[in-house]
Structure 1
């Protein structure tokens, strides 16, 4: 049997993933190609019936942040401030 993942999933044909690929294999790609791959992967994940397991530490951190915001709503930021921070 072929060792590429494409024999099991058509997405892998589109983005050229093979069994031995790791993220360092993607480092030389232009940003627009990386975004194309991320978008395809995200769409595949979103349409998958498989449940996503959220690690306990992520749940704890989300709960901590939620409690912090509940305790002091003044720490919230608006959308404009969010994008200022994202865009640097």
Structure 2
């Protein structure tokens, strides 16, 4: 007998935490992951978008040293 989504969800929620975690991992791994080339292409597109935003004056640049100083301050 086939289950509908609600029935499947209910059955999954009956599983113990470890079984649900393993199932979640399997489901995540089953998702389509972009190839290395596609991932690189997407990062280039994003880098170009960010550069355009800075050049158009919609964002301000913060030196890396300042970012690291703020990060160290936040965790200390």
Q: Same fold (TM over 0.5)?
A: no
With structure 2 as the length reference, what TM-score do the two structures score? 0.35
What is the TM-score when the length of structure 1 is the normalising length? 0.31
Question: Of Structure 1 and Structure 2, which has the larger fraction of its residues in helix?
Answer: 2
Pick 1 or 2: higher relative contact order, CA cutoff 8 A, min separation 6: 1
